[in-house]
């Protein structure tokens, strides 16, 4: 009698485990699909924004046909520079900390947070003079945002090339992860369908 009850309990536990696994697979597949939808939506939103910016530039060109070509070139250069993602933000290490709200310390913290959110690397150089020489500025600066390597020292240009290569590798890795997520979702759904058929 005990063995029959034990066998039934084991079978019941196995069935519960199967149901729990199936529920976990369904939840994981749903979460992966939702994450994939969010990523695709973010990508399409970014493409829509670039398309809208290009239309604005085109409209500005057509409406300003009477203006000189140099002002059109400046407007185009300005729109292109605002569209480019910064390659690097450089800070001088010899900044004086401030305790007043909204002072330099708060601005540096806000800058670092914005750079982290945009996935832009932040570099630190020893002094403002080194920063001035590195990016070939006329005056000393405490903070510089670099959009391209043109006019920079050779060592800094090499660093910027490495940053660009790393970004490309990260983009390729992200594409591979998205493909893997799609495969996992399809496998989870096919596994769910086969377990339901049993």
Please state the length of the chain: 198
Any idea what DSSP says for residue 140? Answer: -
- Which neighbouring-strand residues pair with 90? 123, 144
Kind plus residue range of the DSSP H or E element containing 123: strand 122-125
Kindly report the pTM of this predicted structure.
Answer: 0.42
Between the CA of residue 79 and those of 47, 50, 56, 58, 84, what are the distances in Å? 16, 11, 10, 11, 9
In order along its 198 residues, the chain shows pLDDT tens digits of 567 777 788 888 888 888 887 777 777 667 667 777 776 776 667 666 656 666 665 565 454 444 444 555 555 455 544 557 777 888 888 877 777 777 777 888 888 888 888 888 888 888 888 888 877 788 888 888 877 767 667 777 777 788 888 888 888 998 998 888 888 888 877 776 666 665
DSSP label at residue 150: T
Which pLDDT score, from 0 to 100, does residue 64 have? 45
Phi, psi of 90 (to 5 degrees): -110, 135
Q: What angle do CA 54, 178, 32 make, to 5 degrees?
A: 115
For residue 16, the model assigns a pLDDT of 87
- pLDDT the model gives residue 66: 43
What pLDDT does 105 receive? Answer: 78
pLDDT 10s digits, 6-45: 778 888 888 888 888 777 777 766 766 777 777 677 666 7
Nearest to 95 by CA among 122, 137, 124: 124
**What confidence score (pLDDT) does residue 89 get?**
84
Check residue 59 and give its pLDDT.
Answer: 60
Q: Supply the DSSP string of 80-106, one letter for each residue.
A: HHHHSPPSEEEEETTPPP--STTSHHH
3-state class of 147 per DSSP?
coil
């Amino acid at each position: 009698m005990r063995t029959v009850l034990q066998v039934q309990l084991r079978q019941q536990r196995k069935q519960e485990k199967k149901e729990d696994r199936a529920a976990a697979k369904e939840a994981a597949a749903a979460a992966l699909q939702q994450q994939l939808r969010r990523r695709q939506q973010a990508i399409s939103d970014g493409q829509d924004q670039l398309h809208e910016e290009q239309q604005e530039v085109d409209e500005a060109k057509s409406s300003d046909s009477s203006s000189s070509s140099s002002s059109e070139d400046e407007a185009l250069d300005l729109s292109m520079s605002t569209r480019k993602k910064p390659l690097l933000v450089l800070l001088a290490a010899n900044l004086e900390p401030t305790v007043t709200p909204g002072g330099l310390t708060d601005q540096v913290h806000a800058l670092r947070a914005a750079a982290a959110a945009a996935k832009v690397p932040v570099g630190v150089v020893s002094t403002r003079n080194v920063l001035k020489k590195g990016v070939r500025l006329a005056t000393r600066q405490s903070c510089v945002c670099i959009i391209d390597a043109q006019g920079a020292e050779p060592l800094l240009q090499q660093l910027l090339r490495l940053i660009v290569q790393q970004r490309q590798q990260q983009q390729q890795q992200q594409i591979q992860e998205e493909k893997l997520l799609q495969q996992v979702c399809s496998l989870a759904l096919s596994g769910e369908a086969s377990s339901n058929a049993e």
